[in-house]
Structure 1
Amino acid sequence: MIELEERPNQIPREPIRLMSRVYKHVLPGVREELGAWKKLAEDIPDEELRRQALASIATKQFHCQGGSVYAAANLEQKDVLIALIVAFQTISDYLDNLCDRSTSMDAGDFRLLHQSMLDAVNPEAEMQDYYALRDENEDGGYLHRLVAMCRSCIAKLPGYAAAKTEVLELVKLYTDLQVYKHIKPELREPALLTWHAEYGHLAPDLKWNEFAAATGSTLGMFMLFLAASNPSLDEASAQAIKKAYFPHVCGLHIMLDYLIDQDEDRIGGDLNFCNYYDNTDTMLKRISYIVESAREDVKVLPVSNFHRMIIEGLLALYLSDPKVSQQQEIRSASQRLMKKSPLTRLFFFANSRWIRKYI
């Protein structure tokens, strides 16, 4: 497999170097990009669309901050990668808000909304009226601008042709999940089980809820964006990257997200994949298994230290979230997952708290 960068020192291998780049380059870049999208969101004509767009930026900016860590691995293309990751993640967060708190529970509506994500990574596709199946549809061009930004950035990634098929496959799975998890509550689980019966072979060691969680992550896409910044990327390397990230790294990402959102989802009536275990012990054993599987998977990638830091960073980012301390059961689960943590995870844990408090 090719190296992700021709210069061996380009990808940070140590936590201090990675976080130095995050503080110096990534966080300011994310702040600037989100600031620009917030200004556009403030001008959305429809009140409901405007409210959800602004809420997604205000409450989920850490998704963009965390995802943009991949830009730290190629400073020469950091501006393109940050702009792409922020725009794509902003689409994801905005649509998640629209579907979670939707005035509709129509599968066709949700699929058409998420067609924007498929179009964002497929520049040859024609943009559509993504709001055609819902009452709220006047967004002042906000969603189209997000899609156009993704396409503009992708055009600057010299290796994207090799990564495109793998990216589209991950986005397609993501889109399916968003449709099935947001339809009428009584239809969600049957739809997800039927879907898993068709696609579960992609993650044969995972239970249906864990497979679904894995499809909900954008990390595999972001890693492929980074890989595509290398003009020498080939299809075999892109396939290996996707295999290293999906399902275990991606699954860990979203299982942790659901772990800390259990109270919030219970109040909102939202589906939560951590609620499908018999007890907390079983849940923690499964998450621990996914952690170890993720560590094994990334060993095949060049500069595997970087990807190991991503895994430890995920654990640190989510387990340091203020939501953990507000839920007694989750606080206890977090303490068990953090027990005997390696120094790298503790380093990222401290930095995650610092970023939330001061940045």
Structure 2
Amino acid sequence: MKMLAHARHVPKTPVSLMYRVYKYVLPEVRAELGRLRMIAGQIPDDELRTQALASMRDKQFHCEGGGIYAAANLQQRHVLVPLIVALQTISDYLDNLCDRSTSQDEGDFRLLHQAMLDAVDPGAPLRDYYALRNEREDGGYLHGLVQTCQSCIRQLPSYSSVQSPVSELVGLYGDLQVYKHIVKNRREPELLGWWEKHSQKVPHLQWNEFAAATGSTLGMFVLFLAASEDGLAKQDALLIRDAYFPHVCGLHIMLDYLIDQEEDRIGGDLNFCNYYEDQSQLVERIGEIAARARKDVQALPCRQFHTMIIEGLLALYLSDPKVREQSDVRRVSKHLMRRSPLTRLFFLGNSVWIRMRQT
């Protein structure tokens, strides 16, 4: 894989990465979210406004975490930060609309997630993404997010090389969101049927682990980063996708589901950590996925940076306050944190600090 010019300037140590996060990424991500909150606050429909604001309030750390990819190419952060924030905000907003929905209609969910597919296609026309639901008046909020993504994407020099794998990942993400939110008695059969279509690609994964991998936006973000400089070949874009999907992406969302088990139980939501014989098997499988993720990113030119992403994921999720509130999750966390390298412990401390100072 060709070493792109910006790779020489990618942070190679936890200290240099976090310096960029504190100095550039967090302030700029939070400023962009502040701008979007102002717009969301003007949404005419009460339910859409509530879900738009709640998605940014409760899931701000998704945008902050995704923004780390902008730290790897500071010269292009004026494109990468708004792009990552806008796409992640679409994802979180639509997740809220489906999770706490007044509808359980498959067509409605699929049309909503067409917004994400259009967002990563700079030539796609805007549509009425709310056409199949009662709540429709958002004052142009979702269209604005889609247009922000498209505008930023047009500024990425090598986007044509990554558009196909990005659209593939966004399509899988949309499939997952549809199948996991439809009426309860159809969720597992639809997810299993979907898995059958893809199982040959990742036979070492269980169906729930593949589904979890499709729920991550990290593969999209790393491809945006790769496209932020001239000279990326389409073949290299596929290698980058394969380095992230399914294992880095799968680790990301399995950890997310791990800490949300109690919340999902109360809400009656499907949780992919509930499909193991016991907690020891859950620990074993997450550990195996993490090990494969570390091995996969060794194929990338800036492997130190991507290894830090993996350690940061473990630190971020396993330091979440939700862990302390669930005895089973606390035990799993202790197992996963055993023999943690100093890098992970460094990121754990920073994760706690950032949460304390979150605005």
TM-score normalised by length of structure 1: 0.99
1:134: Cα distance to partner?
Answer: 0.2
Provide the rounded CA distance (Å) in 2 between the counterparts of 1:341 and 1:161: 39
AA paired with 1:22? V
> In structure 2, what is the equivalent of residue 142 of structure 1?
141
Provide the rounded CA distance (Å) in 2 between the counterparts of 1:320 and 1:2: 36
AA paired with 1:121? V
Unaligned 5+ segments in structure 1 are none
> In structure 2, what is the equivalent of residue 225 of structure 1?
224
Q: Counterpart of 1:37 in 2: which secondary structure?
A: helix
1:152: Cα distance to partner?
Answer: 0.5
Aligned positions of 1:50-129 closer than 5 A: 50-129=49-128
> In structure 2, what is the equivalent of residue 348 of structure 1?
347
Provide the rounded CA distance (Å) in 1 between the counterparts of 2:224 and 2:55: 23
> Are 2:295 and 1:333 aligned?
no
Residue by residue over 1:104-163, the C-alpha shift from the partner in whole angstroms, topping out at 9 and shown as x without a partner, is 000000000000000000111111100000000000000000000000000110000000
Among the aligned pairs, what percent are the same residue?
A: 64
Aligned length: 358
Provide the rounded CA distance (Å) in 2 between the counterparts of 1:121 and 1:8: 24
Residue by residue over 1:204-241, the C-alpha shift from the partner in whole angstroms, topping out at 9 and shown as x without a partner, is 21000000000000000000000000111110110000
Provide the rounded CA distance (Å) in 1 between the counterparts of 2:60 and 2:7: 31
Aligned positions of 1:97-246 closer than 5 A: 97-246=96-245
> Are 2:294 and 1:258 aligned?
no
Q: Counterpart of 1:181 in 2: which secondary structure?
A: helix
Provide the rounded CA distance (Å) in 2 between the counterparts of 1:72 and 1:205: 33
Q: 8 Å contact 2:6–2:229 — kept in the other structure?
A: no
1:201: Cα distance to partner?
Answer: 2.2
> In structure 2, what is the equivalent of residue 19 of structure 1?
18
Measured on the aligned residues, the alpha-carbon RMSD in Å equals 0.7
When residues 213 and 8 of structure 1 are mapped into structure 2, their CA distance, relative to the original with a 3 A threshold, is closer
Q: 8 Å contact 2:67–2:85 — kept in the other structure?
A: yes
Provide the rounded CA distance (Å) in 2 between the counterparts of 1:182 and 1:90: 19
Residue by residue over 1:71-115, the C-alpha shift from the partner in whole angstroms, topping out at 9 and shown as x without a partner, is 000000012101000000000000000000000000000000000
Please say which of residues 198-207 and 67-76 is displaced more in the overlay.
Answer: 198-207
Segments of 4+ in structure 1 off by > 2 A? none
When residues 33 and 286 of structure 1 are mapped into structure 2, their CA distance, relative to the original with a 3 A threshold, is same
Provide the rounded CA distance (Å) in 2 between the counterparts of 1:336 and 1:170: 31
AA paired with 1:190? P
AA paired with 1:74? N
Provide the rounded CA distance (Å) in 1 between the counterparts of 2:6 and 2:121: 29
Residue by residue over 1:305-341, the C-alpha shift from the partner in whole angstroms, topping out at 9 and shown as x without a partner, is 0000000000000001111111111111111110110
TM-score normalised by length of structure 2: 0.99
AA paired with 1:108? G
